[in-house]
Amino acid sequence: MHEPSPTSALPGGSPRDDATQARLHAGVASKGSDYRPRTRHLDADGRPKFTNRLILETSPYLLQHAHNPVDWYPWGDAAFERAKRENKPVLLSIGYSTCHWCHVMERESFEDLEIAAYINEHYIAVKVDREERPDVDDVYMTAVQMLTGRGGWPLTTILTPAREPFFAGTYFPPRDGARGQRRGFLGILKGLAESFAQQPDRVLARAAQVSRHLAQRSTTAPDDAGIPGDDAIRRIVAGIASRYDETWGGFGSAPKFPRPVVHQLLLRHGRRANDRRSVAMVAATLRHMAAGGIRDHIGGGFHRYSTDRRWLVPHFEKMLYDNAQLAVAYVHAWQATQDSQLAAIAIETLDYLRRDMRAPDGGFYSATDADSPVPGRADDHEEGLFFTWSPAELAQVLDTAELAAVVAYYGVTDAGHYEGRNILHIPRPAEDVAKTLDQSPRQLQATIASAREKLYAARSHRPPPLRDEKVLTSWNGLAVSAFAIAGFALDRPEYVEQAAQTARFLLTKLRDRDGRLLRSYNERTARHPAVLDDYAFLIAGLLDLYEASSDPQWLRDALALQQQQDRDFLDAAAGGYFLTGKDAERLLVRQKPDYDGAEPSGNSVAAHNLLRLAELTGRDGLRRTAERLLASQSAALNQRGIAVPLLAAALDFQQDRPLQVFIVSREAADAKALTDELRRQYLPNRVISIVTESDINDRLALVPGLEDKRARGGRATAYVCEQQVCQKPTVDSNELLRQLERVTPYTDQ
């Protein structure tokens, strides 16, 4: 078992009291005999020379820094009280466990004894996991963007003891001249510390000015303009389409990020406007991504983003939120196009999550790192090493026929595509490759399938990338949606059961004593009050699970969480929701999220939830709350369109007058033919309740639209209704399809 060395005083730091030192010793001891300290500062026995307060945390990211020689504090009053007491500025460093440049800055600066000593002597150092504390990250990321015009991680901010920022940036090289940069981290720290000591009034005035600007940006007033119309949706779609890459798919130039929120809006627009181009842009983008190196062709799932236009060379980390949203995008694109290959990619992605990212208790882990350990070289890591191949490595695993097929199909070359190694991708159609190999396409696919199994087995013996094993409520809510939506659409009951298992875990383990949600779970401990995203994403998942399973308990849970969200997060004056609850820690500002990026905005998802709940339950109060939210975001919809595509999709749902679809049968099995018709259709403008007659009376309090719905003549019967007015009941799947095709066309204005 590793313990801190008895002489582990931090360079430049104040002596520790015995109680603190004992807590740190106990923190290391609690990690067990297999614990391997993440630091290059080890004594002759392999024990860490340094240990700081982060050893007492549960965040994988904070624990990565627990043996830096920097005297790190976690975010909290203790750090800022000490800063005030000693009149020192605060170095705030924000990142996450699978962040490549966070690792680089750790190795270059936070493990450097000279830099650590200077930090410990002149600053109070605070480390934050942005995934555990998105509220803290959101405030200071806004400051970075405001001061520098850009953002990213690691996020580096210098604060006053009152938590006000007066300097901000992202990654900095360690010293002047390093990596070709004129100013390095140590030089910047020295200059800022001198300014804080010698010109305190100027620094404090600067910090106060930044804080005022932050407050102004976060303030919203009621918008009298009302809810935008269809013209806002058309402008946003046009703006997105203008950035479309006709050659490789995707939007904009390199680097290219998956952004499933864009796909949702385009598919909706394509259906409602009968616009084939909108659907084609989504389908082509997803096909190019599936063929590119951004997809893990051996293990499944997608990497974070592509560094080039053609989706070939990725940044190799994998995130739960990307893969959950992309699985849904592929399912919806399959429904819109009936291209079975798109459905196959969704299945592959979800199977990857179940196999490699599922925790034993039903939740899903957060991410895997971009960097991989180098075999035989302790503490040495290379990006992408786990996922890439040399021709010699392939030849060691595959037989002659498999090797020939893999080389041709996956574009393998002697030179490789990245650091002399090959990123498997599909540069040519399978039919062309089969002709080259004088095989049928079916023979080729069988050979590739056999080869993939062997390559996966061989790869599993490599040292894997680090896996961040914390479970986040919001990202797991996205996973619940993914498994529920795919399970229903593709008729895979095991996916619906996975969604239910994950939902049960979240509703059981990530609650406080008062029943409110918590955000993060790791090492059997749930921590941190939930933010808006946690509530909104989980509610969405529960609604998807209700529609997929027909179990009314999920709808009850969704309604209960919505009530909690309204009580704690609603902006009663202006509409919409704040990121943090009313009794959460008071930060410089209380942000109201409105950007649909790699993750959707909590307000955008909340708008969808409210509208869906209103249609299911008939509760007009929920609809009015949704409409106030949309009205409060009218400026974003009208002026920042491409920043809020999912919010525009919620507006589209509201403008399209959604359908209520009820299928009633004597026995559940009787509804299969009608339900199968629903599965295949891309229907973004509907809510679904599938029930047996015996269940109706118990469900009327939840779904009053079921009143008077019966199986006609003993046969499963479908009712398609709009604003509680129903079309003719039908037992015929073709007639059901005709009724489902109704949309409210866009206005001509």
pLDDT at 468: 96
- For residues 178 and 96, the model is more confident at 96
Q: Which residues contact 265 (CB under 8 A, 6 or more apart)?
A: 233, 236, 237, 240, 645, 646, 648, 649, 652
Find the mean pLDDT for residues 49-56: 94
Burial class (CB in 10 A: 0-12, 13-18, 19+), 77: exposed
| 58's tokens | 């549960």
Q: CA geometry: angle at 231 spanning 225 and 232, to 5°?
A: 65
Of 175-184, 288-297, 551-560, 730-739, the poorest mean pLDDT is in 175-184
In this prediction, residue 223 has a pLDDT band, given cuts at 50, 70 and 90, of low
pLDDT at 456 over 60: yes
Question: By percentage, how much of the chain surpasses pLDDT 70?
Answer: 98
Can you tell me the mean pLDDT for 63-77?
96
pLDDT of residue 4: 46
Instruction: Name every residue whose Cβ is closer than 8 Å to that of residue 669 and which is 6 or more positions away in sequence.
Output: none
Q: Which of 321, 323, 329 is nearest to 350 (CA)?
A: 323
Supply the pLDDT for residue 213: 86
Please give the distance of CA 418 from its chain centroid, rounded to a whole number. 26
For the segment 372-408, what is each residue's pLDDT rounded down to a tens digit? Answer: 999 877 678 899 999 999 999 999 999 999 999 999 9
- The answer regarding whether domain 230-260+287-302+318-331+343-362+471-655 maps to CATH 3.20.190.10 reads no
- pLDDT confidence of residue 220: 67
Q: Tokens 């973004």 appear where? A: 684
Judge whether residue 634 has pLDDT over 70. yes
Report whether pLDDT(121) > 90: yes
Q: What is the mean pLDDT of residues 438-448?
A: 95
Judge whether residue 104 has pLDDT over 90. Answer: yes
pLDDT band at 95 (very low <50, low <70, confident <90, very high): very high
Q: How far apart are CA 134 and CA 139, in angstroms?
A: 9
pLDDT band at 714 (very low <50, low <70, confident <90, very high): very high
> Confidence band (pLDDT; 50, 70, 90) for 669?
very high
Give the model confidence (pLDDT) of 10-39 as tens digits: 998 878 888 888 999 898 888 888 888 889
User: Tokens 């619940």 label which residue?
Assistant: 480
Answer whether residue 464 shows pLDDT above 50. Answer: yes
Residue with tokens 């609650």: 511
> Are residues 569 and 577 in contact, defined by beta-carbon separation less than 8 angstroms?
yes
Q: What is the pLDDT of residue 221?
A: 62
Q: What is the rounded average pLDDT of the residues 499-521?
A: 97
Q: What is the mean pLDDT of residues 707-735?
A: 94
φ, ψ for residue 605, nearest 5 deg: -65, -40
Cβ(575)–Cβ(626) under 8 Å? no
Alpha-carbon gap, residue 396 to 553, rounded angstroms: 53
d(CA 484, CA 498): 8
What DSSP letter does each residue of 154-203 carry, written as one string? SEEEEE-TTS-EEEEES---SSTTGGG-SS-HHHHHHHHHHHHHH-HHHH
- 333 near 283, Cβ under 8 Å? yes
CB-based contact 242:236 (threshold 8 Å): no
pLDDT > 70? residue 55: yes
Q: What is the pLDDT of residue 44?
A: 85
Percentage of the chain surpassing pLDDT 90? 85
Give me the residues paired with residue 315 across strands: 305
| Fold classified for 387-461 | Arc Repressor Mutant, subunit A (1.10.10)
Strands 124-129 and 72-74, bridge-based pairing: parallel
Fold of 18-218: Glutaredoxin (3.40.30)
The residues spanned by each domain of the chain are 18-218, 230-260+287-302+318-331+343-362+471-655, 387-461, 659-740
Confidence grade of residue 749 (pLDDT, cut at 50, 70, 90): very low
Kindly indicate the confidence band of residue 6, based on its pLDDT and cuts at 50, 70 and 90: very low
Angle (CA) 366-372-377 rounded to 5° is 145
Q: Are 127 and 72 in contact (CB under 8 A)?
A: yes
State residue 369's pLDDT score.
Answer: 95
Q: Give the mean pLDDT of the chain.
A: 94
Where is 367: in which H helix or E strand? strand 367-368
**Is 387-461 in the same CATH topology as 230-260+287-302+318-331+343-362+471-655?**
no
pLDDT at 53 over 90: yes
Q: Looking at the predicted structure, is the pLDDT value of residue 249 above 60?
A: yes
Residue position matching structure tokens 């203008």: 242
What pLDDT does residue 177 have? 87
Look at residue 224 and tell me whether its pLDDT is greater than 90: no
149 pLDDT band (50/70/90 cuts)?
confident
What is the structure's pLDDT at 243? Answer: 96
Q: Does CATH place domain 659-740 in 3.40.225?
A: no
pLDDT at residue 215, rounded to an integer: 84
The residue-averaged pLDDT of 271-299 equals 97
Q: Give me the residue label for tokens 């891309």.
A: 682
The residue among 277, 311, 280 whose CA lies nearest residue 293 is 311
